[in-house]
Amino acid sequence: MGNIILWIWLPIPSLDWQITQNPLIVLIIALILGIPCLIIMSIGVMQAGKESWEPHRDKILDPGLYRYVRHPKAITEFPLFAIMAFGVNS
């Protein structure tokens, strides 16, 4: 949030570009790309359960998505940051 405020107060002219003049198009694209990431991330949190907040050394986390991917929440967080930057661009 602080970066957005600084960008409004102190914009960098060489980075000040817009994808389109209509910000609604960018927000719709960001939602279309972001909703699947949020769904996968919430599934990962639900399948991890309490282990998501309080990891235990002796418990192996292997239900659902964790059987196939080591960090499903981290895999979906990275695209979400890029999607949020894309959505805030306009």
Name which residue leads in pLDDT, 66 or 32.
32
For the cut 60, the answer to whether the pLDDT of residue 90 exceeds it is no
Assess contact for 75 and 5: CB atoms under 8 A: no
Name which residue leads in pLDDT, 42 or 69.
42
How much is the average pLDDT of 79-85? 86
How much is the average pLDDT of 51-79? 75
User: What confidence category does residue 32 fall into, taking pLDDT thresholds of 50, 70 and 90?
Assistant: very high
Name which residue leads in pLDDT, 37 or 49.
37
Question: What is the distance between the alpha carbons of residues 75 and 70, in angstroms, rounded to a whole number?
Answer: 9
